[in-house]
């Protein structure tokens, strides 16, 4: 019953939008995405759904000299001290493989500082696209972890292990799950008649996101930094 109501609402919205105009940028983008064949649309939708599911959690483990602990109940309350030079294997943000990681960090919340260098060895292309060097305060940046992400990492003599969970990526996956029948069943015939419904991608990381970047189209803003910290820094620098 709930699903039929949702589908009905989508179709009603589509009917209302039939008489609406599109911006030139959105039309160029939607025409390209809408021109994909039906099998390609279904394949991309399912691939993105699995990718969104994989983004919810990350796990890393490594061996090498290391000591310390980092506890992150969101970056706002991150606390600890950790140092190590380890050879790691793991999965994070659609990147998996092996890499060397040299890292020293410590502090609390706004004043948690990290100095990190990674050297990818073997893995997916996304692993080699990750930033190789980071020096600064992690709370200011939503990558490699979003400011709401929770997790911990522990280094004990010759072993290091860490795991994190992302509330925002969890919400992104739930939205993708709700939209799955819409993207597979409802949107393709609408695309065929020239009516393109916008995607809901709060993390701006699905396949169509690359096409949106090509046309400089931003539907949902994914901030690069934690804005309260930037605001605090701006105020502080005035005095």
The residue among 128, 102, 130, 131 whose CA lies nearest residue 115 is: 102
| pLDDT one digit per residue (tens) for the chain, 239 residues | 454 444 445 444 544 445 567 788 888 888 888 888 889 989 999 999 999 999 999 999 999 999 999 999 999 999 999 999 999 999 998 899 999 999 999 999 989 999 999 999 999 999 998 889 999 999 988 888 999 999 999 999 999 999 999 999 999 999 999 999 998 898 888 877 777 788 888 998 899 888 998 888 888 888 888 888 777 777 766 65
Which residues does 162 contact at the CB level (< 8 Å), separation at least 6?
Answer: 59, 60, 61, 70, 90, 151, 152, 153, 154
Q: Are 120 and 127 in contact (CB under 8 A)?
A: yes
In angstroms, rounded to a whole number, what is the distance separating the alpha carbons of residues 237 and 239?
5
Neighbours of 113 (CB within 10 A): 12
Q: Are 176 and 209 in contact (CB under 8 A)?
A: no
In angstroms, rounded to a whole number, what is the distance separating the alpha carbons of residues 1 and 7?
10
| Reported pTM | 0.82
In angstroms, rounded to a whole number, what is the distance separating the alpha carbons of residues 71 and 61?
16
Q: Which two tokens stand for residue 69?
A: 């602990």
How many distinct helices (H) and strands (E) make up the chain?
A: 8, 6
């Amino acid at each position: 019953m709930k699903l039929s109501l949702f589908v009905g609402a989508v179709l009603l919205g589509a009917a209302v939008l039939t008489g609406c105009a599109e911006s030139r940028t959105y039309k160029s983008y939607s025409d390209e995405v809408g021109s994909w064949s039906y099998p390609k649309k279904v394949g991309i939708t399912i691939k993105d759904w699995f990718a969104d599911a994989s983004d919810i959690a990350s796990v890393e483990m490594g061996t090498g000299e290391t000591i310390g602990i980092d506890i992150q109940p969101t970056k706002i309350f991150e606390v600890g001290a950790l140092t190590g030079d380890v050879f790691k294997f793991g999965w994070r943000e659609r990147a998996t493989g092996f890499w060397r990681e040299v890292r020293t960090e410590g502090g609390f919340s706004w004043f948690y500082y990290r100095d990190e260098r990674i050297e990818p060895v073997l893995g997916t292309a996304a692993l080699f696209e990750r930033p190789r060097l980071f020096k600064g305060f992690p709370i200011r940046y939503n990558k490699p972890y979003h400011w709401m992400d929770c997790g911990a990492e522990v280094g004990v003599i010759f072993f290091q292990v860490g795991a994190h969970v992302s509330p925002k990526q969890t919400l992104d996956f739930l939205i993708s799950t709700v939209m799955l029948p819409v993207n597979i069943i409802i949107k393709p015939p609408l695309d065929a008649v020239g009516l393109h419904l916008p995607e809901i991608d709060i993390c701006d990381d699905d396949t169509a996101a690359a096409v949106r970047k090509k046309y400089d189209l931003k539907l949902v803003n994914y901030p690069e930094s934690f804005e309260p910290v930037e605001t605090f820094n701006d105020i502080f620098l005035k005095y």
